[in-house]
Structure 1
Amino acid sequence: MKKLDRLGMGIGWRPEIAGAVEALPGLDWVEVVAENVCPGHLPDSLGRLRERGVTVVPHGVSLGLGGAERPDPARLTALAERAEALGAPLVTEHIAFVRAGGELTASPRMEAGHLLPVPRTRDALDVLCENVRIAQDALPVPLALENIAAVISWPGEELTEGQFLAELVERTGVRLLIDVANLHTNHVNRGEDPVTALDELPVEAIAYVHVAGGVERDGVWHDTHAHPVPPAVLGILSELRSRTDPPGVLLERDDDFPPAEELAGELAAIRRTLDLTAAAPAAAAPASAGAPLTATRTAVSTASGDGLERRRERVGLAQAALLSALVAGTPAPEGFDSRRLRVQSRALAVKRADVAAKVAPELPEILGSGYRPAFLAYAKGRPMRDGYRRDALDFAEQLLLAGRPEDPAARRRLTHWWQDRAGARPPRRSTRIVRAARAALVRR
């Protein structure tokens, strides 16, 4: 495995804090959500940062490499284009699935709208390894994959998180993006020891590290990226630093952005944690640390072609059943904690409402305080099938079908907004009645 150049200290670039990011002292690099930038029209702020020598790394969220189907070639092409447009030394994605159903399972395709955990089973690992190799072949730069935060646990898992990641690296040569905040999340929510996970990791494969904040509610840790980094997360960062000197460390913040001086303060706390651990007496390295990676990206899977297809089908059916329970209200699959499924389902719906409000800010303006409850009622039992912009249009159409909002002026504004974007006239009253009746029958 070729050693990556050092990235240094970085922060997640977001449009809302672009000015603050540009003014941060000692900034070496930034990470940008890949799907939020257009190769031909990069934000001016990113251009200025690149001119100063600041490295920009695209971070994808929609590939779903942990899903049962092979990666979408169009999504891979888009990610490759962003890497080339940004002059990035690598690209990153997640070990997660984000959609399920479709032809593989002979069921409707559903979108999660968020990252969901992959079962740590041999079947899922075989599928993931092939998907990773397909992605590596399509990308012009190295790929690194991130461990994700989870609220729920899969029943019948065969590997720990560290074992799963170590074997993934051994079989594909992929690099790792280790999120220490996600290790903390999984410690609180799933009882997994972050120290054990770090002991099992091939630390020489780490490309960089994420640090982020969250909040605990009713015994569940929510990886919000909207709160300050807690001491527990910095403690895990210190544990990781005692094992290796990661090429890069990055602060993530996605919402409820604080003043620029608070962002600078969090970066300073991360630097202090790294420096203090580096200055302490070196800890004994675990047996697995520093072991050479003998496998390459062309490593052969343990599964034959036909066997792998059966594995894909089994993984696909399991993921479709879980996602249907989370977003369509179907019964919970056997072995899952029903309370945690409700927490995850609510979290997905809230995120869906929040992102729809960002891509269509006119909707909360028109509906006011009624936007959130109306969207959550719409989302219940209606899976997202074609992205957030289509979701926002479908939400508006459902409101109009129901003769809402009740205020005539607001309803006219919503009608005009929907008509401008849907490219058609709003449905007549007779059509609304027929569609509402059909929807009611489907939900029975």
Structure 2
Amino acid sequence: MKPMARLGVGIGWRPEIAEAVERLPGLDWVEVVAENICPGHLPASLLRLRERGVGVVPHGVSLGLGGADRPDAGRLAALGERAVALGAPLVTEHIAFVRTSSPELEAGHLLPVPRTRDALDVLCENVRIAQDALPVPLALENIAALIPWPGEELTEGQFLTELVERTGVRLLIDVANLHTNRVNRGEDPSAVLDAIPLEALAYVHVAGGMERGGVWHDTHAHPVPPVVLDVLAQLRRRVDPPGVLLERDDDFPPEAELAAELARIRAVADTGAPGTGAAGAGASRAGTSRAGTSRAGAAESGPTDGGGGECGGGVDSGRARVRVGLEQGALLSALVAGTPVPEGFDRQRVRVQSRALAAKRAGVVARLAPELPGILGGEEAYREAFLGYARHRPMTAGYRRDALNFAEHLLIRDLPADPAARRRLTAWWQDRAGARPPRRVARWARALVGRAA
């Protein structure tokens, strides 16, 4: 595998901290959420960073390469356009599914794929399709997960290793996600790092989170804790990563705190400082030996369709897609539509994940449509109304459409009760939808047609 270009130490660029990011000392590069920018109208801050020689990498969140369906050509083209517009050396995405086509549902979140042969076959084929469509190399990120799938056939290390062997894709390793999965799923980060081919490493994500009720929440809204920096140090003792990046998506700290956090990450990336010593060095040496054994084991645990970059196709691939689609559809429906939890899943964990998805959905809609909480009488009233709506209306077409559907849902029910607020909501809806909300009879007919389909 060709060595990865050196990126250095960077931070996730967000509009809320754009000016602070430009002032950060020694910044080498930034990562931008691909879906949040338009190639023809790049933010002025990103253009200034590029002029200074700061690299920019687009990070996609909506492809759903781990889903049962083949990647959408339009989404792939859009991701490629952003890579070209930014002069990016690569693009990144996630090993996750985000939607299902039967039933037609959107998670609004990155959900884990089962570590099974079927899911791996589907993922490999989807990755190959994406690689053929993109103008630059692709790297994929391991995700944080709350829910383990029953009946998994491979470990995380085996799954990632075989994915690399069969597709040549690079890896974006999120050390915060490794810690999250240690708390939530009992998976040892050291075992994953020992098992995966670190020569495929593109770069590393570092982020903060918090523990509540025995569950680690990967919030990207808290400082990076020492335990996550220690996982970064473990990785650093095994390999010198081409790039390390701090992710922060919410509750942004003052500029000085952001700079200090980046400096701590840089110190670990440069030296592997936390937890160094004889024990750490021994673990690293032992890990080197175990990695070879684990990769060999992954190769022997099942057919790889040649192992040299070819993936399953034809009839077998189609059958695998059907099986994976049924499994993912059943889980996503339980999470967002209130259907029974599939056999073998931890029902309590599914309930926790379901509540988290609904809360995230409410939060994202409020950010996209900040007028709605004001119209409805404040954050608490908005949240209560939205969560009531979400219990009966799964998202099917993204967050922006969800905001319009929520407003339509309220208006059909003659809400809000205050006539002035209802007029404001009607005007808001019409400005964005360009139409009159359908009457209740039309809405019922549409719902019946959807159920029949």
Q: Are 1:166 and 2:176 counterparts?
A: no
Residue of structure 2 equivalent to 1:391: 402
Residue of structure 1 equivalent to 2:319: 310
CA–CA distance in structure 2, aligned partners of residues 287 and 91 of structure 1 = 31
Residue of structure 2 equivalent to 1:346: 355
Percent of paired sites with the same residue: 74
Q: Retained in 2: the 8 A contact 1:6–1:247?
A: yes
Residue of structure 1 equivalent to 2:333: 324
Residue of structure 1 equivalent to 2:46: 46
Q: CA deviation at 1:274?
A: 2.6
Match for 1:9: what amino acid?
V
Q: Retained in 1: the 8 A contact 2:236–2:271?
A: no
CA–CA distance in structure 1, aligned partners of residues 290 and 81 of structure 2 = 36
Q: CA deviation at 1:243?
A: 0.3
Q: Retained in 2: the 8 A contact 1:94–1:148?
A: yes
CA–CA distance in structure 1, aligned partners of residues 413 and 32 of structure 2 = 39
Q: CA deviation at 1:350?
A: 1.0
Match for 1:224: what amino acid?
T
Q: CA deviation at 1:312?
A: 0.5
CA–CA distance in structure 2, aligned partners of residues 2 and 364 of structure 1 = 51
State how 1:405-444 maps to structure 2 within 5 Å: 405-427=416-438, 431-432=439-440, 435=443
CA–CA distance in structure 2, aligned partners of residues 420 and 326 of structure 1 = 32
Residue of structure 2 equivalent to 1:357: 366
- Output one character per residue of 1:404-439: Cα deviation in whole Å (capped at 9) or x when no partner: 111221111001101111111234xxx336646986
Match for 1:394: what amino acid?
N
Q: CA deviation at 1:137?
A: 0.6
Q: Retained in 2: the 8 A contact 1:112–1:348?
A: yes
- Correspondence for 1:334 among 340, 343, 349: 343
Paired residue secondary structure (1:140):
coil
CA–CA distance in structure 1, aligned partners of residues 369 and 123 of structure 2 = 34
Match for 2:328: what amino acid?
Q
Gap change, CA 1:207 and 1:288, over 3 Å in 2? farther
Paired residue secondary structure (1:329):
coil
Q: Are 1:381 and 2:383 counterparts?
A: no
Residue of structure 2 equivalent to 1:286: 288
Paired residue secondary structure (1:242):
helix
Q: Are 1:7 and 2:17 counterparts?
A: no
Paired residue secondary structure (1:56):
strand
- Output one character per residue of 1:327-357: Cα deviation in whole Å (capped at 9) or x when no partner: 0000000000000001111111111111111
- Output one character per residue of 1:216-247: Cα deviation in whole Å (capped at 9) or x when no partner: 11111110100010111001001000100000
State how 1:105-124 maps to structure 2 within 5 Å: 107-124=102-119
Q: CA deviation at 1:53?
A: 0.2
Of 264-273 and 250-259, more deviation after overlay is shown by 264-273
Q: CA deviation at 1:195?
A: 0.7
State how 1:13-412 maps to structure 2 within 5 Å: 13-100=13-100, 102=101, 107-277=102-272, 283-284=284-285, 285-287=287-289, 299-301=309-311, 303-367=312-376, 368-369=378-379, 370-412=381-423
CA–CA distance in structure 1, aligned partners of residues 148 and 172 of structure 2 = 21
Paired residue secondary structure (1:245):
coil
Q: Retained in 1: the 8 A contact 2:103–2:333?
A: no
Q: Retained in 2: the 8 A contact 1:151–1:344?
A: yes
Q: Quote the RMSD (CA, aligned, Å).
A: 2.3
Of 308-317 and 374-383, more deviation after overlay is shown by 374-383
Q: CA deviation at 1:289?
A: 5.1
Match for 1:143: what amino acid?
L
Q: Retained in 2: the 8 A contact 1:64–1:71?
A: yes
CA–CA distance in structure 2, aligned partners of residues 79 and 435 of structure 1 = 35
Match for 2:321: what amino acid?
R
Q: CA deviation at 1:300?
A: 2.0
Q: CA deviation at 1:215?
A: 1.0
Paired residue secondary structure (2:202):
strand
CA–CA distance in structure 1, aligned partners of residues 85 and 13 of structure 2 = 16
Q: CA deviation at 1:288?
A: 5.8
TM-score (norm 2): 0.91
For this pair of structures, how many residues does the alignment match? 434
Match for 2:427: what amino acid?
H
Paired residue secondary structure (2:113):
coil
Match for 1:300: what amino acid?
E
Of 349-358 and 49-58, more deviation after overlay is shown by 349-358
Q: CA deviation at 1:287?
A: 2.4
Match for 2:325: what amino acid?
G
For structure 1, the residue ranges without an aligned partner over 5 or more in a row are none
Q: CA deviation at 1:383?
A: 1.3
Q: Retained in 2: the 8 A contact 1:57–1:83?
A: yes
TM-score (norm 1): 0.93
- Output one character per residue of 1:277-298: Cα deviation in whole Å (capped at 9) or x when no partner: 2786754151265899999996
- Output one character per residue of 1:43-66: Cα deviation in whole Å (capped at 9) or x when no partner: 000000000000000000000000
CA–CA distance in structure 1, aligned partners of residues 391 and 449 of structure 2 = 15
CA–CA distance in structure 2, aligned partners of residues 191 and 99 of structure 1 = 26
Gap change, CA 1:174 and 1:440, over 3 Å in 2? closer
